[in-house]
Amino acid sequence: MVIELKGGKFKPEHLGQLSFYLTAVDEQIKHPQDNPTIGLLLCKSKNKVVAEYALRQNTQPLGVAEYKLIESLPPELATDLPSIEQIEQELMGNDAGTANADASDDR
């Protein structure tokens, strides 16, 4: 699956770019036994009619969807996912631990 995220509204030419990526994945990465590569274009907004016209003649498995940014996670997800601060602490802790282990090896 190839997912492309656009920061603005949907434009038909975005599908050409995504189609290029699908072809590249199919030629360079995909194995013969793999199913067809699926392309998903996520845009900040889209005109449904324009998206339907742009997709109508396309033979590749492509889709266009809108996304919405939110300030915080829904409560049911917040308990399952680490916060940004927790991720940063984990990354800093791992780096510090690696640096300390390297320093002790030099003694």
55/19 Cα distance (integer angstroms):
11
Numbers of helices and strands, H then E, in the chain: 4, 3
Question: Residues 49-98: pLDDT tens digits?
Answer: 999 999 898 888 888 998 887 767 677 776 777 777 888 888 887 654 44
Residues 6+ apart with CB under 8 A from 7: 44
In sequence order, what are the residues at sequence separation of 6 or more whose Cβ sits closer than 8 angstroms to the Cβ of residue 69? none
Rounded Cα–Cα distance for residues 41 and 63 (Å): 6
Phi, psi of 41 (to 5 degrees): -105, 115
Is the pTM higher than 0.85? The answer reads: no
**pLDDT tens-digit series, residues 3-60:** 999 989 999 999 999 999 999 999 999 999 999 899 999 999 998 999 999 989 888 8
Four-residue CA torsion sign, 9, 22, 61, 39:
negative
